[in-house]
């Protein structure tokens, strides 16, 4: 099978989607017009050359190379993040903006560390599940971020698909907390005027 672009897999075969994503990522890395393009391309190519990483579904977030055992739309993130830095070095970390697993002079060194931090035998990539629907018409979809304190936050969508942008549920609760705090402050201010 020869793929010409991202997601050109009519039967949604997870292996084909994985191959397509890698192909798209490699093409994009070669066409970037940033000062760090060569460093980034070297990272993508080194990761693709490693069979353990090539077998995983690759994706990027804020230019950090990540891996999943499922395809989009619901990713199951595994292993560390790899970053190509503007100074020509490479970082490997357990989270998006971390280099806690090290900084390296070559992409191959960074990839070797990433492979050592993969879970044992992640298995073949599976098709990512579609969001489930909650009675009342609200769709819930996992965010791709992981949390050391528990499962990722839920994304709440409007009952009419596409009518409102997706909003993380934790953001909604924070908005409610801010709204309550402002209400309390307004009451306190009003009470102080009447004294």
* Mean pLDDT, residues 92-109 taken together: 95
* Mean pLDDT, residues 108-131 taken together: 91
Q: What is the pLDDT of residue 69?
A: 96
Beta-sheet strands, E only, within the chain: 57-61, 64-68, 77-84, 90-93, 102-104, 132-134, 138-142, 154-156, 167-168
Tokens of 95: 């989270």
Strands 64-68 and 57-61: antiparallel
* Mean pLDDT, residues 7-18 taken together: 84
Has this prediction a pTM greater than 0.85?
no
What would the pLDDT profile of 26-61 be if each residue is shown by its tens digit?
999 999 999 999 999 999 999 999 999 999 999 999
Q: What is the pLDDT of residue 82?
A: 98
pLDDT at 146 over 60: no
Higher pLDDT pick, 9 / 29: 29
Q: What is the pLDDT of residue 137?
A: 47
Residue 142's pLDDT band (cuts 50, 70, 90): very low
What would the pLDDT profile of 171-195 be if each residue is shown by its tens digit?
434 444 545 545 555 555 555 565 5
Distances (CA, A) of 162 to 89, 93, 166: 41, 35, 8
């Amino acid at each position: 099978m020869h793929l010409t672009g991202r997601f050109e897999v009519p039967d949604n075969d997870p292996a084909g989607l994985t191959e397509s994503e890698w192909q798209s990522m490699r093409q994009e890395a070669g066409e970037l017009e940033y000062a760090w393009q060569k460093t980034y391309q070297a990272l993508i190519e080194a990761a693709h050359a490693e069979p353990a990483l090539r077998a995983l579904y690759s994706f990027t977030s804020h230019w950090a190379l990540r891996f999943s055992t499922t395809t989009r739309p619901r990713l199951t993130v595994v292993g560390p993040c790899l970053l190509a830095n503007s100074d020509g070095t490479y970082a490997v970390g357990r989270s998006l903006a971390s280099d806690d697993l090290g900084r390296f002079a070559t992409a191959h060194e960074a990839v070797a560390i990433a492979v050592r931090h993969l879970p044992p035998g992640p298995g073949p990539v599976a098709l990512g599940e579609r969001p489930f629907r909650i009675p009342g018409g609200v769709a819930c979809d996992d965010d791709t971020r992981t949390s050391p304190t528990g499962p990722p936050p839920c994304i709440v969508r409007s009952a009419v698909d596409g009518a409102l942008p997706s909003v993380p549920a934790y953001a909604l609760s924070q908005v409610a907390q801010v709204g309550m705090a402002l209400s309390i402050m307004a009451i306190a201010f009003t009470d102080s005027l009447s004294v």
